[in-house]
Amino acid sequence: MGENKDRMLAGDWYLPDDPQLAEDTERRFVLCAAYNAGGGAAAADREPILAELLGGLGRDVRIRLPFQCDYGFNIRIGDRTFVNFNAVFLDAAPITIGADVQIGPNVQLLTPTHALDTARRRAGWERADPVSIGDNVWLGGGVIVCPGVTIGANTVVGAGSVVTRDLPAGVLAVGSPARVVRALVD
């Protein structure tokens, strides 16, 4: 692996325009284009593309077109998860999605962050923190999950919310930034 890719995977500062990372980006570009071009093909016919693109793919996962990611190999999706239209998963760090998760349209799962120092930011430095979504979570349409966030199992995040901090299991959270408004009870 290249030095920048090693740094990226370790969660350290790295330069994303590294030639090896460019190779990984090209791989992602080809696989996402093939997956997204298959609009008329049955989901089962496109599943091998997802299996090659992603780091882990559970059974009966459905991802509607179009789908975009940074690399793909850092994304793991659990069984029976549904991802609606226009999902963007920036996976410079691991993105782990549990089983039975419902992800609304236009949801963004973001792991990269940039330096606040203007000179470092201008130079292109970034780092990434993992995102983890527990089992049976529902992310409403347009939700943005920021770097380093963990959302506990059975939690619901209301449409348009921006999740900047961890959310516990079994709650309803809404707003920007998202805040817990109540516990969910079966």
Q: Answer whether residue 91 shows pLDDT above 70.
A: yes
Q: Answer whether residue 160 shows pLDDT above 70.
A: yes
Q: Answer whether residue 164 shows pLDDT above 80.
A: yes
Question: How many separate domains does the chain show?
Answer: 1
Per residue in 59-87, pLDDT (tens digit) is: 999 999 999 999 999 999 999 999 999 99
The CA distance from 129 to 127, in Å, is 7
Give the contacts of 124 (CB within 8 A, at least 6 positions apart). 15, 16, 17
Closest CA to 137 of 166, 170, 159: 170
Q: Give residue 125's domain range.
A: 3-183
Q: Answer whether residue 109 shows pLDDT above 90.
A: yes
Structure tokens at 138: 């529902």
First to last CA, the chain: 47
pLDDT at 46: 87
The CA distance from 112 to 141, in Å, is 21
* 40 pLDDT tier (thresholds 50, 70, 90): low
Neighbours of 19 (CB within 10 A): 9
Per residue in 125-154, pLDDT (tens digit) is: 999 999 999 999 999 999 999 999 999 999
Q: Which CATH number covers residue 101?
A: 2.160.10.10
Mean confidence (pLDDT) of the chain: 94
Active site (annotated) includes residue 114: yes
- The maximal CA–CA distance of the chain, rounded, in angstroms, is 51
Q: Answer whether residue 39 shows pLDDT above 80.
A: no
Helix (H, G, I), strand (E, B) or coil at 87: strand
Give percent above pLDDT 70 in the chain.
Answer: 97
List 59, 62, 114, 121, catalytic entry:
114
